[in-house]
């Protein structure tokens, strides 16, 4: 993953990661001093706890997502990704397969 964004104290509106290849994965790491926060997936009607120390892998091109308002003085997210432009530059195709069937721990999720 050649791309990295360090995001301080910012919500993210609902979006798809259109710069990523459809099959590519992104990794989100949450840091800082927060006591509550949610990652929202509107098409799944799902809100997932998104707290300090959490690590999330997702196919952001395929799965629309949003970072909602959190509680606490500071939220830091480090997003790791690979944009389509890198694959184009090296004239290769992203070979990552489809996402596996999700495994959820029910106590971590809240439906809308």
Summarize pLDDT for 26-44 with one digit per residue, the tens. 999 999 999 999 999 999 9
Do residues 70 and 36 make contact, with C-beta atoms less than 8 angstroms apart? yes
Confidence band (pLDDT; 50, 70, 90) for 3? confident
What's the rounded Cα separation, in Å, for the pair 14 and 42?
Answer: 8
Alpha helices in 1-112, H assignment, sequence order: 84-89
Predicted confidence at residue 46, as pLDDT, reads: 92
What's the rounded Cα separation, in Å, for the pair 87 and 9?
Answer: 31
pTM of this structure: 0.76
């Amino acid at each position: 993953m050649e791309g990295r964004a360090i995001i301080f104290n910012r919500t993210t509106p609902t979006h798809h990661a259109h710069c990523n290849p459809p099959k590519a994965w992104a990794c989100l790491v949450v840091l800082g001093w927060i006591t509550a926060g949610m990652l929202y997936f509107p098409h799944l009607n799902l809100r997932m706890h998104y707290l300090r120390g959490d690590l999330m892998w997702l196919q952001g091109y395929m799965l629309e997502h949003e970072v909602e308002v959190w509680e606490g003085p500071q939220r830091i997210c480090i997003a790791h990704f690979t944009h389509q432009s890198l694959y184009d530059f090296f004239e290769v195709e992203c070979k990552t397969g489809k996402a596996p069937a999700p495994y959820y721990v029910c106590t971590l999720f809240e439906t809308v």
